[in-house]
Chains A and B, each alone.
Chain A
Amino acid sequence: EPEVTQTPSHQVTQMGQEVILRCVPISNHLYFYWYRQILGQKVEFLVSFYNNEISEKSEIFDDQFSVERPDGSNFTLKIRSTKLEDSAMYFCASRGPGRETQYFGPGTRLLVL
Chain B
Amino acid sequence: QQQVKQSPQSLIVQKGGIPIINCAYENTAFDYFPWYQQFPGKGPALLIAIRPDVSEKKEGRFTISFNKSAKQFSLHIMDSQPGDSATYFCAASISNTDKLIFGTGTRLQVFP
Residues on A facing B (Cβ under 8 Å): 4, 31, 33, 35, 41-45, 48, 55-56, 58, 91, 93, 95, 100-107
| A4-B43, A91-B43, A105-B43 known; A100+B102 contact, CB < 8 A | no
Determine the chain B residues whose CB is within 8 A of the CB of A31 once the complex forms: 98
Given contacts A41-B104, A42-B103, A43-B89, contact A107 B43 (CB under 8 A): yes
Interface size class of B (residues with CB under 8 A): 20 to 34
Contact of A42 among B32, B42, B89, B99 (CB under 8 A): B89
Q: Are A102 and B101 touching (Cβ within 8 A)? A: no
* Chain B interface residues (CB < 8 Å from chain A): 32, 34, 36, 41-46, 49, 89, 91, 97-105
**Across the A-B interface, the 7 shortest Cβ-Cβ residue pairs:** A104-B43, A45-B99, A43-B102, A42-B104, A42-B102, A104-B44, A106-B43
What residue in chain B is nearest A103 (Cβ atoms)?
Answer: B46
Does the CB pair A42–B105 fall under 8 Å?
yes
Residues of B within 8 A of A45 (CB): 99-102
Known A-B contacts: A103-B46, A107-B43. Give 6 more (CB < 8 A): A33-B98, A41-B104, A58-B99, A93-B43, A104-B43, A106-B41
B91: nearest chain-A partner, CB-CB: A43
With A and B bound together, what is the CA distance between A105 and B38 in angstroms? 11
Flag if A56 contacts B102 (CB, 8 Å).
Answer: no
Most buried by A among B89, B91, B102: B102
Which of B32, B43, B91, B101 is packed against the most chain A CB atoms within 10 Å? B43
Decide: B100 and A101 in contact? CB cutoff 8 A: no
Residues of A within 8 A of B104 (CB): 41-42
When the two chains form their complex, are residues B46 and A44 in contact, meaning their CB atoms are under 8 A apart?
no
Closest to B49 in A: A100
